[in-house]
Amino acid sequence: MKYKKEQKTTIFVVITTAFITTFTGSALNLSIPDMGEYFHVSASLVGWMVTAYMLTVAALSVPFGRIADLTCRKRILVIGILIFSLSSAAAVFGVSMWMLILLRITQGIGGAMIFSTNTAVLISAFPGKERGKVLGYSIASTYVGLSAGPVAGGFLNHNLGWRSIFAVTAAISIVVLIIAWSKLPRDECERKGSSYDMPGNLLYIAMIVLTMYGLSELRLQALPIAILVCGLIFGVFFVMRELKTEDPAVQVRMFKQNLAYSFSNLAALFNYGATFAIGYLMSIYLQVVMGYSSQAAGLILIVQPGLMAVLSPYAGRLSDRISPFKLASFGMGLCAAGVLICAFVGLHTPLWVIIAALFVTGVGFAFFSSPNTNAVMACVEQQDYGVASSILATMRSIGHTSSMVIVTVIVGRYMGSQALTDAEPALLIKTMHTAFLIFAAICAVGVFISLKRKSPEKTGK
């Protein structure tokens, strides 16, 4: 089928923004040691480069999604790209780590505006029968960014320095900014006359920041646990507020009234929580146990996101013809199988077994992500696309954080303060076995939840 010019522009803007927001983060991860050495700061301070961005995106995606639904999604998307591009360009000239952390927070503000609108802008431009296909393009671009980040980031950092990563990000962002501002079709306000629930949004931000920070710093110590508990308390107040207000920031009632929507978001939380740490643990296993260099390990690990990128458009198109709920359940089942294979690796496991596990999880995630996103958006009206896509992005962020928390707790249990890279191979494998068995169990629960969903009637929205 041929697309209209406006639809082609929408696809280009959305897939490019999906690429740059994931590429930047995955590319910068390889530059963290060099940045710490350049500014003579501790690894924990450099780690705030990642944490600050992650917290900002997670906390602000839903509030910006609500603003976009009330006003104009194109306007919020364009402003987000502008902020993202300017902060990336400014980071090229960063003179201190604190300046870079502040710019990463600013970049996170732009990222939150992008995450809260790009999916909504995309599916609003296409009929319901093509929703899965175009979502597949966007999700494939996300995985291309994740795949290209370590390779291109390593090359740029090694040959041109860490500043070049910000420069490339800024250049791509400026190009897509010009196209989005001049050619992206304007959308109409979906909720004329509705008000913005400022107290509810502030409670939501406090809930997400405190909960995610408490989780990310969780070492079974008093302060992180106290922060986490405070976040959960704010969450209770948030839910109470949203149940009473006429125009809530999040339609909390819908989680009770629409079980398909609730289970789809919960399935995303479980799947991201069970699979995010695979790359982290397997990269250490490939280097410490199997003796590969970091570059070789990175090339092996590309198998998983590479398959996600290739298969996501196909899975998305398939979800327009077959129940996305069933496809997502099938994909999560494959993820569970892949994680279970990882749980039985040992000192002398052949490389083909590792590649097979990455292959299975890559295929599984491709068949989960696009159909599950399609399922979520099929459960809501067009006027709520912004908030719905924002909540799904928040589930992803919380899932990623929870996955690393599980690894951190298990490592602390077996190794204390010892770094994974310094561990004896046998102890590392024991730690991995425990982690992957827990992740496989989480995936199994996710499959059960996913199978409980029922497809809504096709509305053609």
- 457 vs 87, higher pLDDT: 87
pLDDT at residue 460, as a whole number: 40
- Residues 118-166 have pLDDT tens digits of 877 887 777 767 777 777 788 888 777 876 777 777 778 778 888 988 9
CATH of 253-461, one of 3.20.20.150, 3.40.1280.10, 3.30.9.10, 1.20.1250.20: 1.20.1250.20
Q: Are 440 and 274 in contact (CB under 8 A)?
A: yes
The mean pLDDT of 380-409, rounded to a whole number, is 77
Q: Crossing angle for the helix pair 259-275 and 324-342, nearest 10 degrees?
A: 20
Domain range annotation of the chain? 1-192, 197-248, 253-461
Confidence of residue 417 (pLDDT cuts 50, 70, 90): low
User: Cα separation of 267 and 256, whole Å?
Assistant: 15
pTM to 2 decimals? 0.78
Report the distance separating Cα 165 and Cα 163, nearest Å.
5
User: Each residue of 317-334: b (16+ CB within 10 Å) or e?
Assistant: bbbbeebbbbbbbbbbbb
pLDDT at 438: 92
User: Taking all residues of the chain, what is their mean pLDDT, rounded to a whole number?
Assistant: 82
Residue 442, classed as helix, strand or coil, is: helix
Digit-coded pLDDT (tens) for 327-377: 888 998 999 999 999 888 888 889 999 999 999 998 998 888 888 888 887
**Does 306 or 186 have the greater pLDDT score?**
306
Q: How far apart are CA 234 and CA 203, in angstroms?
A: 6
**pLDDT, position 458:** 43
pLDDT at residue 439 in the model? 92
DSSP secondary structure string for all residues of 199-267:
HHHHHHHHHHHHHHHHHHT-SS-HHHHHHHHHHHHHHHHHHHHHHH-SS-SS-HHHHHH-HHHHHHHHH
On the question of a common fold for 1-192 and 253-461, the answer reads: yes
Q: Does residue 1 have a pLDDT over 60?
A: no
pLDDT digits (tens, 9 = 90+) for 282-301: 877 887 888 887 667 777 88
Homologous superfamily (CATH) for 1-192: MFS general substrate transporter like domains (1.20.1250.20)
Least confident of 150-164, 181-195, 254-268, 397-411: 181-195
Rg, the chain, Cα only: 21
pLDDT band at 244 (very low <50, low <70, confident <90, very high): confident
C-alpha distance across the termini of the chain, in Å:
19
Highest mean pLDDT among 62-66, 163-167, 273-277: 163-167
